Amino acid sequence: MNKVILILSFILIILLFKFALGDASYKEYRDLKKEVTNLEEKNSKFKEKIKLIKYEIENLKTGLSVIEEKARNELGLIKEKETFYQILK
C-alpha cells in the first residue's frame, strides 16, 4: 500500500511541476491570453480603419464634390475665374 501511495504522490508532484513550470503552464496560458486580447484590440482598430477607407473610396466613386474638395485641398487646384490667395504666417 505504501508503494502505491509513493507512486501516486510522485506522479502528483510531476503533474504539479508541469502545471507550474512546464511548456503548457498556467503562466504561459495567461501570457497567451493577454497576447490574444491585445491582438484582438489591434484587429478591431484595423477593421475600423478599413471601414473608413472603404467609405472614402465609395465617396470618391460616387461624389464629385468629394473629388473637388480633395483636388483643392491636396493638389491646390482652382477653378476658372477664381483667384487663389495663400496666407503665410
| Residue-wise DSSP of 3-63 | HHHHHHHHHHHHHHHHHHHSTT-HHHHHHHHHHHHHHHHHHHHHHHHHHHHHHHHHHHHH-
What is the predicted pLDDT for the residue at 43? 97
Q: What is the pTM of this model?
A: 0.49
What is the predicted pLDDT for the residue at 70? 76
Residue 41 has pLDDT above 90, yes or no: yes
What is the predicted pLDDT for the residue at 28? 85
Q: Model confidence over 45-75: pLDDT tens digits? A: 999 999 999 998 887 788 777 777 777 777 7
In which residue are the cell numbers 502505491 written? 4
What is the predicted pLDDT for the residue at 36? 97
Residue 77 has pLDDT above 90, yes or no: no
